[in-house]
């Protein structure tokens, strides 16, 4: 079921990890950002879009993690964009024998059964200086940074005041650092947050990749919360963050495990 969060901007929330697919209505059809995970849900989304007379005319993946790279045949064959780095990282994951099994190590088995690998990761990279998604609809600014994943893009739907944050600014997930040896997990994350802060005054609605949609007051609050977490783990300070404490939302207690692994990962890099 689609829910409107701003004029011409609708979301579908998945049963998997409260993932948000975002639909932006355009002149000839919709832009679909991070379409979802479960095959049934994406087929349902395709039906909903047909009823709205909004065929998908463009897709976008905010970053090259498996749960943001899926597609469904019924969504059609529109170009699916990402940043050049996102597309390159998706291609890398899909190279060599056995790539599917390697990616599947990240996927809970019950979810893997409900998704399709067809059309996985077929992303067209946009040149590094591309300011906006090329499509016939409201201007969507690309804010690329290297927090969380290479070539991660937040998207600002300018005329609607909607920030599609990808896997940042969540009320349920802590900042998930990119611990790849080639990344600078803490500084990349802080730089990403700074870019988001530079547009915060233009934001009326935030849509995180996973979690609850927030209003204007949430833009800066969530940026501050994420920055507080990253600075605390950087400085080895005690982390006072409700997302990893006893007040974590029901079903999200596993995030404390992610937190523990991140602390370990950061310590090993020193």
Q: Give contact residues for Zn ion (rule: CB under 5 A).
A: 65, 167
- Which CB atom, from 167 or from 241, has the smaller least distance to Zn ion? 167
User: Up-side HSE of residue 72: CA atoms within 13 Å toward CB?
Assistant: 22
Q: How many Å separate Cα 90 from the centre of its chain?
A: 14
Largest Cα–Cα separation, the chain: 54
Q: Which residue has the tokens 């059609």?
A: 76
- Which CB atom, from 26 or from 150, has the smaller least distance to Zn ion? 150
- Which CB atom, from 161 or from 209, has the smaller least distance to Zn ion? 209
What is the rounded CA–CA span in Å between residue 227 and residue 265? 18
- Which CB atom, from 6 or from 165, has the smaller least distance to Zn ion? 165
Instruction: Tell me the closest approach of the beta carbon of residue 152 to Zn ion, in angstroms.
Output: 8
What is the number of the residue whose Cβ is closest to Zn ion?
65
Instruction: Tell me the closest approach of the beta carbon of residue 149 to Zn ion, in angstroms.
Output: 5
- Which CB atom, from 65 or from 222, has the smaller least distance to Zn ion? 65
Nearest 5°: phi and psi at 250? -50, 135
Instruction: Tell me the closest approach of the beta carbon of residue 140 to Zn ion, in angstroms.
Output: 19
DSSP lists the bridge partners of residue 142 as 155
Q: Is 227 exposed, middle or buried (0-12, 13-18, 19+ CB in 10 A)?
A: middle
Q: Which residue has the tokens 């399709």?
A: 116
Instruction: Tell me the closest approach of the beta carbon of residue 158 to Zn ion, in angstroms.
Output: 24
Instruction: Tell me the closest approach of the beta carbon of residue 48 to Zn ion, in angstroms.
Output: 25
Instruction: Tell me the closest approach of the beta carbon of residue 27 to Zn ion, in angstroms.
Output: 31
What's the order of all strands across the beta sheet hosting 30-33?
A: 3-6, 9-13, 20-25, 30-33, 56-60, 80-83, 124-126
What is the rounded CA–CA span in Å between residue 98 and residue 150? 22
- Which CB atom, from 49 or from 154, has the smaller least distance to Zn ion? 154
DSSP lists the bridge partners of residue 207 as 164
CA neighbor of 167 nearest in space, from 269, 264, 86: 86
Instruction: Tell me the closest approach of the beta carbon of residue 100 to Zn ion, in angstroms.
Output: 18
- Which CB atom, from 167 or from 171, has the smaller least distance to Zn ion? 167
Element (H, E) at 59: strand 56-60
């Amino acid at each position: 079921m689609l829910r409107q969060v701003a004029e011409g901007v609708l979301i579908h929330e998945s049963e998997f990890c409260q993932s948000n697919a975002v639909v932006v209505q355009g002149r000839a059809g919709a832009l679909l950002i991070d379409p979802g995970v479960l095959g049934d849900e994406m087929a349902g989304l395709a039906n909903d879009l047909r009823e709205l007379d909004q065929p998908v005319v463009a897709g976008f993946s905010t970053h090259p993690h498996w749960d943001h790279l899926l597609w469904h045949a019924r969504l059609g064959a529109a170009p699916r964009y990402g940043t050049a780095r996102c597309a390159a990282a998706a291609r890398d994951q899909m190279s060599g024998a056995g790539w599917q099994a390697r990616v599947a190590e990240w996927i809970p088995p019950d979810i893997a059964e409900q998704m399709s690998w067809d059309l996985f990761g077929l992303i067209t990279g946009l040149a590094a200086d591309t300011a906006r998604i090329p499509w016939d609809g409201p201007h969507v600014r690309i804010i690329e940074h290297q927090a969380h994943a290479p070539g991660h893009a937040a998207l600002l739907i300018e005329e609607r005041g909607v920030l599609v944050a990808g896997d940042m600014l969540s009320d349920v997930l802590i900042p998930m650092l990119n611990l790849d040896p080639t990344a600078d997990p803490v500084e990349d994350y802080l730089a990403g947050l700074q870019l988001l802060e530079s547009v915060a005054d233009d934001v009326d609605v935030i849509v995180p990749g996973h979690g609850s949609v927030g209003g204007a007051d949430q833009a800066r609050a969530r940026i501050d919360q994420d920055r507080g977490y990253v600075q605390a783990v950087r400085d080895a300070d005690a982390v006072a963050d409700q997302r990893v404490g006893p007040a974590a939302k029901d079903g999200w207690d596993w995030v404390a495990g992610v937190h523990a692994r991140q602390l370990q990962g950061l310590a090993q890099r020193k």
